C-alpha cells in the first residue's frame, strides 16, 4: 500500500529499489537520492507494519531497500503528509522554525520527524531532545544546520483529528493524522496479509520449511535480510541480482528470548529490535547499539548480517567475542552445527560459513551477561559512522580477583580480534593492581599491529585501544569516567565541556 493506494506490480526486478519505484514509476519526486548508500537520509520513507492488530511505523532508507521487500506494508512518502492541503505538524514545525534552506534534505528530515511524532503521540509520550536527535541521526544537512531542525522536532504538538478528503464524494481514504489509529489503513493491510508475498524473483518465506523449499528451488539465489550492505553492491557497483530470498520474515530467525542459561538472538533480529529489548535488561548493550549507523539503518539491518558480513570494523562481533557467544549455523537441508564466535572468522572477509549455510541464531551465556562488561566505540561522528576503534570488555571477578578476562577489538586487524596477551596479563590479578593493567597495555602494544587508513593512523588506533582498556579498568574499580555523548543539552554542560554518558 503506497500512501492511500493499493498497488500491485509483478514486473519489477528483484533489486529495484523503493526510491526508484517512487520516482520513476509513480512520479513521487519528493523523495530524493543523495548518496545511494543509506548514509544521508534524503530518501527516507515511513513504513507501517501491522502485527498482532497493532500498526507501527518506522523509517528506512529507500535508496537501498528493494521495493518488493515492502509487500504487505504501508509505504508513506512525503506527499501523503499534506494530502488535504494542510501541513503535517512536522512540516509546519519546520516552516515555523526555519528548518530548511536549499530544501534537498528536507523531505527526509520531515519524514523522520513525522515518524517520531507518530510513535510518541500514539503512545502519549513526550518529545524530548534525545528523541529528536535519535530520529534525525540518519539525516544529513549541509546548509541549514541542525539547531533549527531540532527546534522543529521539539515544537511538534499533538493535534489528533480526521481530515475529510479535499473533494466531496471522492473515494480517497480519509486522512487521519495519526496513521497508526487509522482503521482504514489497518483494514487494508490486514487484507494484504492473507495474500501470498512471493513474486517470481523475490521470495519471502515465513518459516524454515518455506525457506528450505525456496533454497532448493533456487540454488543460485542470493539471501537478503535488511540489505543495508548487500544493496550497495547494486547501487554502488551496479551488480544486478536475479533472484533474492528475503529471510527477514522467517519466524524461527526472529526469536529474541531469554532461556534458562542463555540469551538467544535470531539472525534476522534487527538492531532496533535488540536495542528496544536491551533497554532495561542490558543498558550497556543498548548504549552501543545506539551508536551503530542511524535509526533508518537500525530499523532494517540485522544482527546476523552484521556478523556474516565479516567486516573487521563491524561493531557486534567484538561484543559477541567478549561473551564467547555460540553461533548456530543452518544448512539448506535443515541440519545445524554450532561454531563459537572465536572460531568463526578465518581471515579478511572470510568465515566458516559453507556455501549452503546461513547464520540462524546466537546464544549468549546469562552468567557472562551478568558479569562486568563495557563497550566503547570511537569514531569521527557520534551517529551514522564507522568505528576507528571498537573495544568490548568483560571482567569476571571472584573475591576481588580477575578470574576471566575478555578484551575484543574491532578495527585493529583484518578480523575482529581478541587481545590474548593482554587478557593473560590481567587474569589472576587483583582488580586494583595497577601494575597488572600497565603490563596488559604493554602486552597489547606488542601483539596488535593495526593499519593506517583514512579513518585513523596505526598509532592513534593503538593509543586509543590502550586508553580504552585503562578506562574499562578504572570503571571496574568504581571510577566514574565522565565522557561526552555529543549532544550538549544545557548551558552548564556547554560551559564545563563534559556530559555524563555511557558513550565512549
Helix (H) or strand (E) holding 463: helix 458-476
Tell me, what DSSP letter sits at residue 17?
A: B
Rounded distance, CA 90 to CA 121, Å? 12
Question: Do the Cβ atoms of 317 and 292 come closer than 8 Å?
Answer: no
Three cell numbers, residue 287: 548504549
| 283 HSE (CA, 13 A, CB side) | 5
Cβ count near 326 (within 10 Å)? 19
User: Residue 36 — left, alpha, or beta (φ > 0 → left; ψ -120 to 50 → alpha)?
Assistant: left
Query: Do strands 175-176 and 202-203 pair parallel, antiparallel, or not at all (unpaired)?
Result: unpaired
| Torsion angle (degrees, nearest 10) of CA 119, 300, 345, 245 | 140
Q: What is the DSSP string of 421-435?
A: HHHHHHTTSBTT-HH
Q: What is the DSSP string of 280-336?
A: HH-HHHHHHHTTSS-HHHHHH-BHHHHHHT--TT-SHHHHHHHTT-EEEEEETTS-E
Rounded distance, CA 20 to CA 292, Å? 26
* CB-count exposure of residue 327 (10 Å: 0-12, 13-18, 19+): buried
Nearest to 300 by CA among 234, 241, 227, 206: 227
* CB-count exposure of residue 214 (10 Å: 0-12, 13-18, 19+): buried
Residues whose CB falls within 8 Å of the CB of residue 191, separated by 6 or more in sequence, listed in order: none
pLDDT at 197: 66
pLDDT at 464: 96
Three cell numbers, residue 493: 554542560
Rounded distance, CA 401 to CA 430, Å? 4
* CB-count exposure of residue 107 (10 Å: 0-12, 13-18, 19+): buried
Chain centroid to Cα 67, Å, comes to 19
Q: How far is CA 25 from CA 67, 190, 389, in A?
A: 11, 25, 43
Per-residue pLDDT of the chain (504 residues; tens, 9 = 90+): 999 899 999 899 999 999 999 999 999 999 999 999 999 999 999 999 999 889 999 999 999 999 999 999 999 999 999 877 789 999 999 999 999 999 999 999 999 999 999 999 888 888 999 999 999 999 999 898 899 999 999 998 744 334 444 455 555 554 556 888 889 999 999 988 877 667 899 999 999 999 999 999 999 999 999 999 999 999 999 999 999 999 999 999 999 999 999 999 999 999 999 999 999 999 999 999 999 999 999 999 999 999 999 999 999 999 999 999 999 999 998 999 999 999 999 999 999 999 999 999 999 999 999 999 999 999 988 888 889 999 999 999 999 999 999 999 999 999 999 999 999 999 999 999 999 999 999 999 999 999 999 889 999 999 999 999 999 999 999 998 877 555 444 444 333 433 333 334
State the distance between the two ends of the chain, measured CA to CA, in whole angstroms. 42
Cβ count near 104 (within 10 Å)? 16
pLDDT at 164: 46
* CB-count exposure of residue 199 (10 Å: 0-12, 13-18, 19+): middle
* CB-count exposure of residue 312 (10 Å: 0-12, 13-18, 19+): buried
Cβ count near 304 (within 10 Å)? 25
pLDDT at 83: 75
**3-state SS string over 352-417?**
CCCCCEEEEEEEEEHHHHCCEEEEEEECCCCCCCCCCEEEEEEEEEECCEEEEEEEEEECCCCCCE
Amino acid at each position: 500500500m503506497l500512501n492511500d493506494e493499493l498497488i500491485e506490480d509483478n514486473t519489477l526486478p528483484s533489486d529495484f529499489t523503493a526510491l526508484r519505484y517512487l520516482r520513476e514509476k509513480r512520479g513521487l519526486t519528493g523523495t530524493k537520492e543523495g548518496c545511494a548508500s543509506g548514509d544521508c537520509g534524503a530518501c527516507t520513507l515511513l513504513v507501517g507494519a501491522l502485527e498482532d492488530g497493532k500498526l507501527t511505523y518506522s523509517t528506512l532508507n529507500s535508496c537501498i531497500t528493494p521495493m518488493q521487500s515492502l509487500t504487505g506494508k504501508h509505504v508513506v512518502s512525503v506527499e501523503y503528509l499534506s494530502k488535504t492541503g494542510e501541513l503535517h505538524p512536522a512540516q509546519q514545525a519546520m516552516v515555523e522554525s526555519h528548518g530548511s534552506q536549499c530544501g534537498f534534505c528536507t523531505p527526509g528530515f520531515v519524514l523522520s520527524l513525522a515518524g517520531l511524532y507518530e510513535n510518541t503521540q500514539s503512545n502519549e509520550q513526550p518529545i524530548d531532545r534525545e528523541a529528536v536527535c535519535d530520529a534525525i541521526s540518519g539525516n544529513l544537512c549541509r546548509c541549514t544546520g541542525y539547531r533549527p531542525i531540532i527546534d522543529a522536532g521539539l515544537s511538534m504538538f499533538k493535534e489528533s483529528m480526521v481530515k475529510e478528503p479535499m473533494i466531496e464524494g471522492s473515494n480517497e481514504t480519509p486522512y487521519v493524522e495519526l496513521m497508526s489509529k487509522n482503521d482504514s489503513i489497518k483494514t487494508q493491510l490486514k487484507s494484504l496479509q492473507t495474500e501470498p508475498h512471493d513474486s517470481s524473483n523475490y521470495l519471502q518465506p515465513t518459516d524454515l520449511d518455506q525457506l528450505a523449499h525456496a533454497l532448493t528451488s533456487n540454488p543460485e539465489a542470493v539471501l537478503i535480510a535488511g540489505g543495508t550492505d548487500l544493496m550497495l553492491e547494486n547501487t554502488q557497483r551496479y551488480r544486478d541480482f536475479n533472484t533474492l530470498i528475503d529471510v527477514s520474515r522467517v519466524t524461527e530467525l526472529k526469536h529474541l528470548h531469554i532461556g534458562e542459561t542463555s540469551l538467544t538472538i535470531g539472525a534476522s533480529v534487527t538492531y532496533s529490535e535488540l536495542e528496544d529489548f536491551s533497554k532495561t535488561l542490558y543498558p550497556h548493550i543498548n548504549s552501543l547499539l545506539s551508536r551503530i549507523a542511524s535509526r533508518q539503518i537500525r530499523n532494517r539491518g540485522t544482527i546476523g548480517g552484521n556478523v556474516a558480513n565479516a567486516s573487521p570494523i563491524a561493531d557486534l562481533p567484538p561484543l559477541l567475542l567478549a561473551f564467547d557467544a555460540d553461533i548456530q549455523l543452518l544448512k539448506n537441508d535443515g541440519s545445524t552445527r554450532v561454531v563459537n564466535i572465536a572460531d568463526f572468522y578465518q581471515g579478511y572477509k572470510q568465515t566458516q560459513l559453507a556455501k549452503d549455510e546461513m547464520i540462524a541464531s546466537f546464544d549468549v551465556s546469562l552468567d557472562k551477561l551478568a558479569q562486568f562488561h563495557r563497550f566503547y566505540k570511537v569514531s569521527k561522528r557520534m551517529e551514522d559512522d564507522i568505528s576507528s576503534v571498537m573495544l568490548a570488555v568483560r571482567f569476571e571477578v571472584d573475591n576481588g580477583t580477575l578470574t576471566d578476562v575478555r578484551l575484543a577489538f574491532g578495527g585493529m586487524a583484518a578480523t575482529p580480534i581478541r587481545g590474548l596477551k593482554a587478557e593473560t596479563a590481567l587474569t589472576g590479578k587483583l582488580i586494583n593492581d595497577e601494575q597488572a593493567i600497565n603490563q596488559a597495555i604493554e602486552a597489547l602494544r606488542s601483539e596488535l599491529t593495526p593499519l593506517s587508513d583514512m579513518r585513523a593512523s596505526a598509532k592513534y588506533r593503538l593509543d586509543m585501544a590502550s586508553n580504552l582498556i585503562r578506562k574499562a579498568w578504572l570503571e571496574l574499580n568504581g571510577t566514574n569516567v565522565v565522557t561526552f555523548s555529543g549532544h550538549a543539552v544545557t548551558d552548564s554542560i556547554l560551559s564545563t565541556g563534559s556530559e555524563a554518558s555511557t558513550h565512549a
